Amino acid sequence: MSATAVFGDALLDPETGDTARHAVVVVEDGRVSAAGARDGIRVPAGAEKVDAEGLTLLPGLIDCHVHLRSKGTGRDLGEWLATPPSLWVLQTVPAARKTLEAGFTTVRDAGGAPSGVRLAIERGIMPGPRTVLAVTALSQTGGHTDQHFACGADIGVKLPDVPETVVDGVEPMRRRVREVLRAGADWIKLCTSGGVLSPNDSPRHATLTIDEIRAACEEAAAQGRSVMAHAQATEGIKNALVGGVATIEHGIWLDDDCCELMLDGKRALVATLVAPLWVLRHAEAGRMPEWATAKARSAVEDHKRSFQRALEAGVTIAFGTDTGVGPHGSMGEEFLLMHQLGMDPLRCLQSATTVAARTIGYPGVGTLKPGDWGDLIGVRGDPLQNLELIAKPDNVKLVVKGGEVVKAA
């Protein structure tokens, strides 16, 4: 048996916002065996002692929408054409490490990373967060993941264990979802509207029919999985919700009806507020095509208003960033954006811990109760007083995953 005891100044419970002083978290064989004030907690003899004096401990953070395969440095079509599929996969190696070192010990990959990435992390071949993944993102012909360009070239990345992204019709959708599940997907990702980083569509238009969406949701549910929808247009969001998806990604043009549909206790919004900002930053650096820049510019302010509408309506909001658009490790900025738009710090933290864990359906993450995974981070101060402490990777001084110290500053 391996045991680790992490001694910190305080332990913050994101469920309640309560803080225990002079805390210890004991992890045995990867799982928390005890956590709280040191008095009354027996530390097993022989446990590795981790000195985190001066730090507040809290559960590892969760990002519900990343793309580990994308570099996050903008879209350069020349570079894209010169990138072999194997290099796309290897790009997940630094991405996963930076994610973990920023304090994100669990992520949901929203498309692009094949299941071998999850296996490589699970088997200790590369460091990274616990990962659930969608493998790919399905869209209709001319939709968000159709990589045909005006010249006729299809520049989609071809990997042997990532099924084709473009699908049309109910029966083909059923078959494709089964193929994606066969390829090891934990989630099914659909694109029910156009998007920003796609050449042929508009984020204001719905894509896929309700029947296609419903068929995908049925097939996913039959094998115990749920569906996430890239959904920006109002009609695309509505179709996704009526069709049965669990999470709305981006949700740029949410109206009151969309919010109402999301209040049934089974849905969550993953807003990724930081993503369009990164598109504009890359554009400034000359690393973004003009068509994508124009679409991002037209979305930014409406995106903020939709977030506020959802917040006021009481919609469940789970933390997600679309990192891979922006650089890996930078996801914490989303906390600051959510806070600026009116979310209080405790809810911001919950969105990336308790709420995120429930949203992606990963047991034993987001809290540090006995039996949970021993995933925790340490910051110098109280993040509920200063969200910058979890927003900037350099401020995350300690990262422990499964009882193993992966970063200590």
Q: Considering the complex, what minimum distance in angstroms separates the CB of residue 290 from Zn ion? A: 21
Q: Does residue 165 sit in helix, strand or coil?
A: coil
Q: Considering the complex, what minimum distance in angstroms separates the CB of residue 252 from Zn ion? A: 13
What residues make contact with Zn ion under the rule CB under 5 A? 110, 322
Beta bridge mates, 407 = 399
Enclosing H/E stretch for 36 = strand 31-37
Q: Considering the complex, what minimum distance in angstroms separates the CB of residue 248 from Zn ion? A: 12
Give the residue with the Cβ less far from Zn ion, 270 or 349. 270
Give the residue with the Cβ less far from Zn ion, 212 or 322. 322
Q: Could you give the residue ranges of the DSSP H alpha helices within 342-395?
A: 345-351, 354-360, 388-391
**252, 85, 54, 234: which is closest to 155 by C-alpha?**
85
Q: Considering the complex, what minimum distance in angstroms separates the CB of residue 329 from Zn ion? A: 17
Alpha-carbon gap, residue 373 to 390, rounded angstroms = 20
* Structure token pair of residue 314: 């009481």
Give the residue with the Cβ less far from Zn ion, 47 or 299. 299
Give the residue with the Cβ less far from Zn ion, 186 or 322. 322
| 367, 376 contact by CB (below 8 A) | no
Q: Considering the complex, what minimum distance in angstroms separates the CB of residue 349 from Zn ion? A: 23
Alpha-carbon gap, residue 54 to 10, rounded angstroms = 8
How many beta carbons lie within 10 A of that of residue 335, not counting itself?
26
* Structure token pair of residue 309: 């509408």
Alpha-carbon gap, residue 407 to 409, rounded angstroms = 7
Alpha-carbon gap, residue 100 to 128, rounded angstroms = 5
Give the residue with the Cβ less far from Zn ion, 110 or 391. 110
Alpha-carbon gap, residue 172 to 161, rounded angstroms = 18
Cβ-defined contacts of 19-28 (< 8 Å, 24+): 19/56, 19/382, 23/57, 25/57, 25/368, 25/374, 25/376, 25/400, 27/3, 27/374, 27/400, 27/402, 27/403, 28/1, 28/2, 28/3, 28/403
Give the residue with the Cβ less far from Zn ion, 69 or 214. 69
Q: Considering the complex, what minimum distance in angstroms separates the CB of residue 109 from Zn ion? A: 9
Q: Considering the complex, what minimum distance in angstroms separates the CB of residue 67 from Zn ion? A: 6
Largest CA-CA distance found in the chain, in angstroms, rounded: 70
Give the residue with the Cβ less far from Zn ion, 229 or 376. 229
Give the residue with the Cβ less far from Zn ion, 249 or 372. 249
